[in-house]
Amino acid sequence: MTNTDQSIETLISISGTLASIGLALVAILTAKASIDHVETVADEFFLLASLGFLFVVVLGYLAQKNRSSPRASSLVRLAEWMFSGSLLMIVVGSVLMVYVAA
């Protein structure tokens, strides 16, 4: 379980940072005077990714609190999948912003 503990601690740390970055991107896009359809869609991707990263933090916390429980490994696995999905949403939102809007 030591390797899993290190994995979940890393996920919690990175997820908190990425959630903050995603929310900052949402705030920047919202503050713009003119926002087009592509930026609105990218904004939704960034917002959903931020929510996903926040859920990773919660799942990581629950996995750490329930280390001895048989559910701990499934919580870690779910957190890892959610992290991957949220990271994919950040990439999709970024691609939309850079390549579609240009």
Confidence band for 5, pLDDT divided at 50, 70 and 90: low
d(CA 15, CA 52): 9
Residue 34 maps to which CATH number?
1.20.120
pLDDT for 68:
86
Tokens of 81: 């999948």
22, 49 contact by CB (below 8 A): yes
Residue 31 clears pLDDT 80, i.e. is over it: no
pLDDT tens for each residue of 56-83:
999 999 988 888 888 888 999 999 999 9
Asked whether residue 23 carries a pLDDT value surpassing 60, the answer given is: yes
Task: Examine the pLDDT at 2 and tell me if it is beyond 60.
Answer: no
CB count within 10 Å of CB 45 equals 23
pTM above the 0.85 mark?
Answer: no
Residues of the domain holding 27: 2-100
Query: How far apart, in Å, are the Cα atoms of 37 and each of 33, 41, 44?
Result: 13, 6, 11
Structural domain count, the chain: 1
